[in-house]
C-alpha cells in the first residue's frame, strides 16, 4: 500500500524545520560530556582525551568527502563539494582543518604525533567514525549528503566553544583556536549546498524521511563519539 504520495513532499522550509527539530533533540551539544565541557567542568585529561579522539573524525573527513564527491552526478556540484576536501586537507600542508586541529592540540600541550599515530584512539570513537565513512561509501549520494547536514547545527556550537575554551580552559593557548574560527564561515556555506542537494535528490516524502534518518544516524555517530570518551570502556 502506497501511503505517501508526491503531494506530501515537504517544501524546503518544511524540510529545514523538521531538520532543526531533529537537531534540537539529538545533536551532540545535548550530550553530558559536552554539557560538562561547556560548564568548564572537564579536567585537563578529559579535555585532552576529547581533542585527541575528535582528531580521528577530522582526519577521516577528506576521505568521506571524496567518497561523496565520487557519487555526485553533476559537475557543478562536484566542483562545490571539492571545497570541503580543500577545507580539511588544506591548499598546502600548512593550512586546512586537519592542520588547524593539530595546532589546537599543540596549544593544549599535546604533541601532534600522539594524534597522528592514533595510539590513544578509543575503539568506540574509531567504530563510530568508520560507520560514518562507510555510510557515505555505501549509500546513495543524496543520503550521503544528508548525513552531512549536522552542519546546520554546528555554527552555534562552534561559536560557543571559542568563548568557553577562552573562559574555562585558559591553559589552552588562544593561538590554537583558529580551527573553530574558520569553521564558523565554512559550515553555513556548506550546509546550504547540502540542503540544495538533498532537496534535489530526495524527490518524495518517503525519501525526505530517509534523508532525515541519515541526519539522525549522523547525530548518533557524534553522540557515540562522546559516549566513548565519557566512559572510556571498562578498563582491562
Regarding 118 and contact with a copy of itself (CB under 8 A), the answer is no
Regarding 154 and contact with a copy of itself (CB under 8 A), the answer is no
> Site residues for a copy of itself, window 122-151 (CB under 8 A)?
137
Regarding 83 and contact with a copy of itself (CB under 8 A), the answer is no
Q: How far is CA 106 from the centre of its chain?
A: 21
Minimum distance from residue 79 beta carbon to a copy of itself (Å):
6
Contacting range for a copy of itself; rule: CB under 8 A; set: 91-99, 149-157, 167-175, 179-187 = 91-99
Regarding 119 and contact with a copy of itself (CB under 8 A), the answer is no
Cβ nearer to a copy of itself, comparing 63 with 220: 63
Minimum distance from residue 49 beta carbon to a copy of itself (Å):
23
Q: Which three cell numbers stand for residue 96?
A: 586546512
Q: Which three cell numbers stand for residue 13?
A: 522550509
| DSSP track, the chain | -----GGGPPPHHHHHHHHHHHHHHHSGGGSHHHHHHHTT---HHHHHHHHHHHHHHHHHHHHHHHHHHHH---HHHHHHHHHHHHHHH-SSTT-SHHHHHHHHHHHTT--HHHHHHTTT--HHHHHHHHHHHHHHHHS-HHHHHHTTGGGGTHHHHHHHHHHHHHHH-TTS-GGGGHHHHHHHHHHHHHHHHHHHHHHHH--SHHHHHHHHHHHHHHHHHHHHHHHHHHH-----
Lay out the site mask for a copy of itself across 15-44 (x = CB under 8 A, - = otherwise). Answer: ------------------------------
Minimum distance from residue 140 beta carbon to a copy of itself (Å):
14
Minimum distance from residue 62 beta carbon to a copy of itself (Å):
6
Q: Which of 18, 30, 46, 90 binds a copy of itself (CB under 8 A)?
A: 90
> Site residues for a copy of itself, window 42-81 (CB under 8 A)?
62-64, 66-67, 69-71, 75-76, 78-79
Contacts for 30 with CB less than 8 Å, ≥ 6 apart? none
Contacts for 91 with CB less than 8 Å, ≥ 6 apart? none
Cβ nearer to a copy of itself, comparing 29 with 87: 87
Q: Which of 10, 19, 22, 98 binds a copy of itself (CB under 8 A)?
A: 98
Regarding 175 and contact with a copy of itself (CB under 8 A), the answer is no
Binding site for a copy of itself (CB under 8 A): 62-64, 66-67, 69-71, 75-76, 78-79, 82, 85-86, 89-93, 96, 98, 137
Amino acid at each position: 500500500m502506497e501511503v505517501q504520495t508526491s503531494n506530501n513532499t515537504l517544501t524546503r522550509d518544511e524540510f529545514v524545520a523538521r531538520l532543526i527539530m531533529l537537531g534540537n533533540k539529538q545533536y551532540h551539544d545535548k550530550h553530558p560530556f559536552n554539557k560538562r565541557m561547556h560548564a568548564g567542568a572537564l579536567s585537563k585529561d578529559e579535555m585532552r582525551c576529547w581533542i585527541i579522539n575528535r582528531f580521528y573524525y577530522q582526519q577521516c573527513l577528506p576521505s568521506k568527502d571524496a567518497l561523496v564527491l565520487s557519487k555526485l552526478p553533476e559537475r557543478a556540484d562536484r566542483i562545490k563539494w571539492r571545497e570541503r576536501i580543500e577545507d580539511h586537507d588544506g591548499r598546502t600542508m600548512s593550512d586546512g582543518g586537519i592542520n588547524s586541529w593539530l595546532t589546537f592540540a599543540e596549544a593544549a600541550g599535546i604533541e601532534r604525533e600522539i594524534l597522528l599515530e592514533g595510539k590513544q584512539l578509543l575503539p568506540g570513537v574509531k567504530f563510530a567514525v568508520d560507520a560514518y565513512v562507510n555510510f557515505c561509501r555505501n549509500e546513495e549520494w543524496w543520503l550521503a549528503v544528508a548525513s552531512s547536514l549536522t552542519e546546520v547545527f554546528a555554527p552555534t556550537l562552534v561559536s560557543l566553544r571559542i568563548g568557553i575554551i577562552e573562559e574555562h580552559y585558559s591553559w589552552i593557548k588562544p593561538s590554537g583556536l583558529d580551527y573553530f574560527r574558520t569553521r564558523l564561515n565554512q559550515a553555513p556555506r556548506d550546509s546550504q549546498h547540502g540542503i540544495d542537494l538533498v532537496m534535489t535528490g530526495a524527490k518524495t516524502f518517503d525519501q525526505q524521511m530517509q534523508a532525515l534518518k541519515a541526519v539522525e544516524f549522523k547525530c548518533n555517530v557524534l553522540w557515540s563519539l562522546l559516549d566513548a570518551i565519557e566512559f572510556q570502556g571498562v578498563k582491562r
